[in-house]
Amino acid sequence: MRKSAGYLLLLLGVILFLSSISGLAANFMSSIEGYIFLYVVMIVGIVIAFLGFQIIMSPEIEGNTFPAHVNEYEVLCEKCGKVIPVDATTCPFCGNPIA
């Protein structure tokens, strides 16, 4: 779900960026306000695309990318990633049952 939101943001950013470039190339607006508007849309498109790319490339916490055991007395919760005692039956932070 999170990655699909990243792809949508990336697509929206690219569309905004390309539409502002085509607006500049076609010279739609001859006033300075029109050019300022197109440059603002271009910058917003770049920022949105960058945020989408960051979401896509960020590691998933739920993907077990970390070891389950920190040491013999503590383990990491699979849902929230916080350190919990070995004898706990549920995570004290998120309530996830521990197997």
- pLDDT, mean over the chain: 80
Distance CA 14, CA 43 (A): 11
The residue range of the domain holding 19 is 2-57
Q: Tell me: do 81 and 53 sit in the same domain.
A: no
pLDDT for 21: 83
Q: What is the DSSP string of the chain?
A: -HHHHHHHHHHHHHHHHHHHHHHHHHT---SHHHHHHHHHHHHHHHHHHHHHHHHHHSPPSTT--S-SBSSSSEEE-TTT--EEETT-SB-TTT-PBP-
How large is the average pLDDT for residues 43-56?
91
Q: Tell me: do 6 and 35 sit in the same domain.
A: yes
Q: What total of structural domains would you count in the chain?
A: 2
pLDDT for 28: 60
Distance CA 13, CA 52 (A): 8
Q: Tell me: do 68 and 38 sit in the same domain.
A: no
Per residue in 1-11, pLDDT tens? Answer: 678 888 999 99
Q: Tell me: do 21 and 68 sit in the same domain.
A: no
How large is the average pLDDT for residues 72-87?
80
Q: How confident is the model at residue 61 (pLDDT cuts 50, 70, 90)?
A: low
What is the share, in percent, of the chain residues with pLDDT greater than 70? 77
Distance CA 70, CA 89 (A): 17
Q: Tell me: do 33 and 74 sit in the same domain.
A: no
Is pTM beyond 0.85? Reply is no
Q: Tell me: do 46 and 18 sit in the same domain.
A: yes
Q: How far is CA 35 from CA 11, 15, 68, 72, in A?
A: 23, 18, 54, 63
Q: Tell me: do 17 and 50 sit in the same domain.
A: yes
